[in-house]
Amino acid sequence: MIENNSSVVVEDLVKRFGDFVAVDHISLETRKGEIFGFLGPNGAGKSTTIRMLCGLLTPTSGRARVAGYDVGREPESVRQNIGYMSQKFSLYNDLKVVENIRLFAGLYGVPSGSLKGRIDWALEMANLKGQENLITNTLPGGWKQRLALGCAVLHQPPILFLDEPTSGVDPISRRQFWDLIHGMAAEGVTVFVTTHYMEEAEYCNRLALIFRGKMVALGTPSELKQKAMKGELLLIECEPLGPAVESLQSAPGVTDAAVFGNALHLVVQDAAAAVPQLRKYLAERGITVRLVERIRPSLEDVFVSLTTERKAGKERRTP
């Protein structure tokens, strides 16, 4: 049912809850075998979008097709052709590992002839071979997430939706989880994943940045860092940091200033012109400057820049 290599097509999608607009005219398209990231803070509209695309919520307006099916008119067909893993652990903690796998195999209609092979695959993927009789609640968090992923794709769906799947998981387990995602994408599965972890966004082929229900940027991680940044980025090593960042928030030509580790990141319009001006500005306020240099922005820098600009624009429009 997937046409023109597009697995998910979203056109002007809107979801309102009363007067609150949770998703505000979003449009995007994902391709077969692509890892597509939906990046934004908590409350931005990521989970609401995912739930509409999974056929769990009816859109207020707009249109979306998943695996060739309309999410508003054919939600059951959508659900039969996707895997879904929520941000909260979705398995049954009081069941054994293998009991959870069998339960989800039954819910997804896995044929009896391939059941044993799929159970073995899920156990192997979750690193639980030989541990199938453990009670699920006794598993470490990373193992639980791998088990949940295995259960979500037992029926081998062409599209997988992951809603903040590594929330609360340690960094090593998170990286192992992403290795599994990349393996699935290499086999042609489209993976649509939401996250608020900036480092995870780097693992995606393409990203949509969402803020207050609106999509504020779309592209590969490299494209976003090169084109979406509103201004140029400076790194400043100075002391004391607290008074420095407070002073720079209102400095001429500075769009944004924030602490990053033991240094500051500043967004300015013209880095070459700003460097000598900022050195003088800080020196006049008794702040010792060790280093000022232009740096390449991270995705976090890009996101902060875009959202700061939109916050400022909203405030200027507010009477």
Residue predicted with more confidence, 172 or 32: 32
Alpha carbon distances (Å) from 277 to 130, 232, 262, 265? 65, 15, 21, 16
- Dump pLDDT digits (tens) for 147-202: 999 999 999 999 999 988 887 777 888 888 899 899 999 999 999 999 888 888 88
180 falls within a domain? yes
Residue 143 and residue 125 in contact, taking contact as beta carbons nearer than 8 Å: no
Query: CATH code at 142?
Result: 3.40.50.300
Query: CATH code at 286?
Result: 3.30.70.100
244 falls within a domain? yes
The pLDDT confidence band at residue 40, using thresholds 50, 70 and 90, is: confident
Regarding whether 288 and 202 lie in a shared domain, the answer is: no
Q: What percentage of the chain reaches a pLDDT higher than 70?
A: 94
157 falls within a domain? yes
Q: Out of 81-85, 169-173, 314-318, pick the least confident.
A: 314-318
* Domain end marker among 195, 224, 253: 224
Residue 31 and residue 3 in contact, taking contact as beta carbons nearer than 8 Å: no
- Dump pLDDT digits (tens) for 230-286: 788 999 999 999 999 999 988 988 988 889 889 999 989 899 999 999 999 999 999
Q: How many domains does the chain have?
A: 2
